[in-house]
Copies of this chain bind each other. A is one copy, B any other.
């Protein structure tokens, strides 16, 4: 009988609040190579634009690298994930080409404490559906509509420096019902010109991991160039980082009477 007391020493305070974070920006990178109009907006791929925004807003706080579907293991090897503090995920056309093995690997790291940002059409990615347990379906329409993003939780760090409302002139409509669990914290709600609403900024904790879903961002509109969107994503990286990450998710453990008395002093 073993009680699996976790007595790994906590990171020192300085390390926890000041160390450089490593962010991996994952991009499906299909539309950009196949469609002229997408390539015109994102010539190096959406992932490079997203990465550049993070570098600008979090200069001196983060190291940002990218990975794509086309790389071996989609660029998400065990080593890459073990060294990633926060992963961002953009996919759309090729969700089913992501290998189940890589999805389970990402899941394991999220539950152990790696942060995850899920962007726009990533709502139907395997990894997001797996973490949410629901269909993550929604209503949609491509009509280049005006989206207005509203902050509904101004106490939240992801809203820091974000205006009360900001406009994205042309965006794909994403509307309710968005079939997700009720977020632990709801930060943004969007309206669309056609009258729909959408919970566009949603926080979830799963295991030791923190997940932020953010809907603005489409392949045929230059949404990731916008300062407000970049600010939200930069804030979300800092929010999603968990200094208490472990090597593995928890598992059920037979725990003898008094097992936790050995923990004291480990704080």
Residues of A bordering B, CB below 8 Å: 5-7, 10-11, 13-14, 16-18, 57-61, 111, 113, 124, 130-135, 137-141, 143, 146, 148, 150-157, 159-167, 173, 175-179, 181-182, 184-186, 189-197, 199, 204-210, 226-228, 231, 234, 238, 242-244, 249-261, 263-267
Given A137-B252, A191-B196, A194-B258, A242 and B155 touching (CB < 8 A)?
yes
Answer whether A155 and B199 are a contact pair too, CB < 8 Å, given A134-B111, A165-B260.
Answer: no
Whether A167 lies near B244 (C-beta < 8 A) is no
What residues of B have a CB within 8 angstroms of the CB of A58 in the complex? 13
Do A238 and B155 touch across chains, with their CB atoms under 8 A apart?
Answer: no
> A211 — nearest CB in chain B belongs to which residue?
B155
Pairs A–B under 8 Å by Cβ, sample size 22: A10-B162, A14-B60, A16-B160, A111-B134, A111-B179, A130-B133, A134-B206, A137-B250, A139-B259, A141-B254, A141-B255, A143-B257, A154-B208, A155-B206, A161-B244, A164-B176, A182-B184, A184-B184, A184-B185, A191-B192, A197-B197, A227-B267
Within the oligomer, what is the number of copies of this chain?
4
Residues of B within 8 A of A251 (CB): 135, 137
Report A250 CB to chain B, min CB distance, Å. 5
Determine whether the beta carbon of A252 is less than 8 Å from that of B210: no
Name A141's closest neighbour in chain B (CB-CB). B255
Give Cα A212 to B259, complex, Å: 29
Partner among B7, B140, B242 whose Cβ is within 8 Å of the Cβ of A252? B140
Residues of chain B within 8 A (CB-CB) of A252 are 124, 137-140
Distance from A4 Cβ to chain B, minimum over Cβ atoms (Å): 9
What is the distance, in angstroms, from A109's C-beta to the closest C-beta of chain B?
A: 13
Neighbour of A206 across the interface among B181, B249, B254, B258, CB < 8 A: B181
